[in-house]
Chain A
């Protein structure tokens, strides 16, 4: 019998060289290209595509990595159809946009496979920075800091580094093998990663390190406080996806996913691929659903059913789940944040043996409260434009400042925070933006 994890086929498969040449030749090489503006890390997309076209694939990879050292995973996990590809001018001609994500993964993949590196450790500044969390923000920050000559130690609570790319992204987007290979490539520049090293009290690091970067992400899946939530067979979406990535998920026969976001969709599609009948319930209507349209379409292709205007009331069962009691909702207005009223007497039961709750993740308020003078806003760490927190020794980036966005946003934050840290530590007036001396 094949292992579960092998059931996940890539939705964005690797391009062949001839595909890459044909696709890259289509790019118009726009000036001030909208795709660059749409990319949180501002990769010079037309340039790297041109370099693929001229078969300077290594030059192309360098163009990408100069802006985004996690360019390989971003090429595969980014919601490109709402970012770079969504901005492609071909849409105005009713033409298919350029397949930017796969081209990006193609070029970066070649450099990674050939183990060609473009950056090296900068001359030592004698400064030490602790990075908390080896996810996309932490890794991008550590890489950039190392180029700038600062000594970096990354602390990771989990067994493996990688964060979202290792534990949180759907395996049909980015596999464990991909994550391990990318991690090895990024960390080869020479920063230390301590795994199994959960930092409970960051202030203990203050003595040894000049600056501490918080790239801690988010916590566990939120509870929804209904009866039956402690029954066996009830999972948080984040924990479920993590189990899938670790190849130890035990999916039920009939699964109900609660929530309307992208994580709900990931959990639903993964359950379906692993053999379950899946229903997603969402309290509002299809129109208000926060998941990307392409993700919803993807789920429908995997036979995931959607039940709208429905809220959970109670998870039924003695020891383990045998059903989810729901109630129908009515929206008071057509606004996205409209008040929701339940419809009296509309309760019904969805028989199921597994419930996955995907209503967002907890913010790690207690953890951040252990740091003095650190200001939070709705649980999110407050930073200035240099990504410095209200405690000048601490910088932050990624999900813990934005409440949960894409991998690419975390990479952009991590990279820019490193530049902010460098400016702070080296008492620079400003940061010059890229390596080629263009400002």
Chain B
């Protein structure tokens, strides 16, 4: 058995699976249930000056039969008093001393930040997460993503916190920027011990065609919300790798965005995350999904003869390069396994109408045929094929040395 114990910027937890600051960490009741189920840590629903929420708060994108492929919310930070939250957090920490309990915070004034930090440290919290990410409601008041989108403000407020906090400080980043490394480096300059990403993405999930109003509606109107769930994982993985691969960025990263299965978690570790945070999957299925995360990561590490999650860290990020560094002499072509093929011909029409016209249909034969001389190896046919490992992309030996764009004869600079 591998050891899943984690040390994230000095914050220890029995495993790298944390609950993200969100509805599942609203109360002590929920967080204790989560720790009983096997979660290693929890980032409490963001503390701040109490707000008022609207009714009807979530909407989702379903893809065919799959419910909640993406989830959107217009809920704000905690709507409970700081006293109530602190009392419950203290209770949780007392009952579960080994689990990581992080206070997420969002304030306007320096004094408010300082006051909350002190009170949180007094009750034995393990660390802080600064919510610079919330893309709706709070940003219009100069908080949340309004901070995350402005590196100078991000740095300044981070330094307010780090000048008094004695516990590790994590800055949670918004993806609603063109370059994620800018706010991340600003957080680092501000003295942060770690970052977490991504917070939710600006979104409108869809329009109700009967009422002609966007979802979710509040008295016939709507507002843009924050998008999360399985749909956002690719965006998060890219941003994660950008930080992992940035030469000047040195902080540990907690990965967030669409994590539901152990496989998702492993992908985040491979892209450089030390811990992962989960919200949408718990909102869909409950705390018990952590059983699969624990078992799956353990068995994966065992099967790779690894002892801890740290060994996975960043392996895939190193393989994520600039386009210019890719080998232009490498070639694959598609191969259809006629035994596995169920003759749906989806690969044929995808290639014919959508790609490179390199699959043909022969008379009276349902199984399509790859035209190997024109196939460019784009993968599309293997992506649309409904049968697992029926279409494989096979490497063709070109016997040519690696050639990158900088050295390519077609490059006008050569």
Binding site for B on A (CB under 8 A): 17-18, 21, 29, 31, 47, 50-51, 53-56, 58-59, 62-63
The contact string, 1 if C-beta is below 8 Å from chain A, for chain B 273-288, is 0000000000001101
Q: Mind listing 24 A-B residue pairs with CB under 8 Å? A: A18-B387, A18-B388, A29-B285, A31-B286, A47-B288, A47-B292, A50-B261, A50-B289, A51-B292, A53-B261, A54-B292, A54-B296, A56-B262, A56-B292, A56-B295, A56-B296, A56-B299, A56-B300, A59-B292, A59-B295, A59-B296, A62-B295, A63-B291, A63-B295
B263 on the A face (CB < 8 A): yes
B299 touches A59 (CB 8 A): yes
In Å, the complex CA distance between A219 and B298 comes to 47
* B289, B291, B292 pick with most chain A CB within 10 angstroms: B292
Closest to A26 in B: B65
Closest to B284 in A: A29
Query: Looking at the complex, which one of B261, B298, B387 makes contact with A54 (CB distance below 8 Å)?
Result: B261
Extra inter-chain contacts (15) besides given A51-B295, A63-B295, CB under 8 Å: A18-B388, A21-B388, A47-B291, A50-B261, A50-B292, A51-B292, A54-B292, A54-B296, A56-B262, A56-B295, A56-B296, A56-B299, A59-B292, A62-B295, A63-B291
In Å, the complex CA distance between A24 and B298 comes to 21
Chain A residues in 8 Å Cβ range of B292: 47, 50-51, 54, 56, 59
Chain B residues in 8 Å Cβ range of A62: 295
Closest to A21 in B: B388
Chain A residues in 8 Å Cβ range of B262: 54, 56
For chain B, the count of residues having a C-beta within 8 Å of the partner chain is: 17
In Å, the complex CA distance between A18 and B390 comes to 11
In whole Å, how far is A30's beta carbon from the nearest beta carbon of chain B? 10
In Å, the complex CA distance between A56 and B292 comes to 8
In Å, the complex CA distance between A358 and B298 comes to 50
In Å, the complex CA distance between A63 and B299 comes to 13
In Å, the complex CA distance between A51 and B262 comes to 9
* A17, A18, A56, A62 pick with most chain B CB within 10 angstroms: A56
In Å, the complex CA distance between A56 and B296 comes to 5
Chain A residues in 8 Å Cβ range of B298: 59
Q: Interface residues of B: mostly helix, strand, loop or mixed?
A: helix
In Å, the complex CA distance between A47 and B291 comes to 8
Chain B residues in 8 Å Cβ range of A18: 387-389
A17 touches B296 (CB 8 A): no
In whole Å, how far is B95's beta carbon from the nearest beta carbon of chain A? 15
Closest to B264 in A: A54
In Å, the complex CA distance between A50 and B288 comes to 11
Closest to A19 in B: B388
In Å, the complex CA distance between A17 and B389 comes to 11
In whole Å, how far is A26's beta carbon from the nearest beta carbon of chain B? 9
Chain B residues in 8 Å Cβ range of A54: 261-263, 292, 296
Query: Looking at the complex, which one of A21, A31, A51 makes contact with B296 (CB distance below 8 Å)?
Result: A51
In whole Å, how far is B347's beta carbon from the nearest beta carbon of chain A? 17
* B261, B289, B299, B389 pick with most chain A CB within 10 angstroms: B299
Query: Looking at the complex, which one of A21, A47, A50, A58 makes contact with B299 (CB distance below 8 Å)?
Result: A58
Closest to B294 in A: A59
In Å, the complex CA distance between A29 and B285 comes to 7
In Å, the complex CA distance between A21 and B261 comes to 14
Closest to A29 in B: B285
Enumerate the 7 nearest inter-chain pairs by beta-carbon distance, A residue then B residue, closest first: A59-B295, A56-B296, A18-B388, A54-B261, A29-B285, A58-B299, A59-B299
In whole Å, how far is B288's beta carbon from the nearest beta carbon of chain A? 7
Chain B residues in 8 Å Cβ range of A50: 261, 289, 292
Chain A residues in 8 Å Cβ range of B289: 50
Chain A residues in 8 Å Cβ range of B286: 31
In Å, the complex CA distance between A50 and B295 comes to 11
In Å, the complex CA distance between A378 and B286 comes to 47
In Å, the complex CA distance between A31 and B287 comes to 11
In whole Å, how far is B285's beta carbon from the nearest beta carbon of chain A? 5
Closest to A17 in B: B388
Closest to A51 in B: B292
* Segment 349-406 of B: residues with Cβ below 8 Å from A: 387-389
In Å, the complex CA distance between A62 and B299 comes to 11
* A21, A51, A63 pick with most chain B CB within 10 angstroms: A51
* Segment 268-321 of B: residues with Cβ below 8 Å from A: 285-286, 288-289, 291-292, 295-296, 298-300
In Å, the complex CA distance between A359 and B286 comes to 49
In Å, the complex CA distance between A296 and B387 comes to 35
Chain B residues in 8 Å Cβ range of A29: 285
In Å, the complex CA distance between A56 and B262 comes to 9
In Å, the complex CA distance between A56 and B286 comes to 19
In Å, the complex CA distance between A50 and B263 comes to 12
Chain A residues in 8 Å Cβ range of B299: 56, 58-59
Closest to B66 in A: A25
In Å, the complex CA distance between A91 and B285 comes to 21
Closest to A57 in B: B299
The contact string, 1 if C-beta is below 8 Å from chain A, for chain B 160-187, is 0000000000000000000000000000
Chain B residues in 8 Å Cβ range of A51: 292, 295-296
Chain B residues in 8 Å Cβ range of A58: 299
B295 touches A55 (CB 8 A): no
Chain B residues in 8 Å Cβ range of A31: 286
In Å, the complex CA distance between A205 and B195 comes to 67
In Å, the complex CA distance between A76 and B388 comes to 25
Chain A residues in 8 Å Cβ range of B261: 50, 53-54
Chain B residues in 8 Å Cβ range of A56: 262, 292, 295-296, 299-300
In Å, the complex CA distance between A55 and B264 comes to 12
In whole Å, how far is B33's beta carbon from the nearest beta carbon of chain A? 12
Closest to A50 in B: B292
In whole Å, how far is A134's beta carbon from the nearest beta carbon of chain B? 31
Chain B residues in 8 Å Cβ range of A21: 388
In Å, the complex CA distance between A372 and B344 comes to 70
Closest to B293 in A: A54
B263 touches A55 (CB 8 A): yes
Closest to B289 in A: A50
Chain B residues in 8 Å Cβ range of A47: 288, 291-292
The contact string, 1 if C-beta is below 8 Å from chain A, for chain B 226-263, is 00000000000000000000000000000000000111
In whole Å, how far is A25's beta carbon from the nearest beta carbon of chain B? 9
In whole Å, how far is A33's beta carbon from the nearest beta carbon of chain B? 11
In Å, the complex CA distance between A63 and B262 comes to 16
In whole Å, how far is A115's beta carbon from the nearest beta carbon of chain B? 15
In Å, the complex CA distance between A58 and B292 comes to 11
In Å, the complex CA distance between A56 and B389 comes to 18
In Å, the complex CA distance between A58 and B301 comes to 13
In Å, the complex CA distance between A47 and B261 comes to 12
In Å, the complex CA distance between A63 and B295 comes to 10
In Å, the complex CA distance between A53 and B289 comes to 13
Closest to A438 in B: B36
In whole Å, how far is A96's beta carbon from the nearest beta carbon of chain B? 14
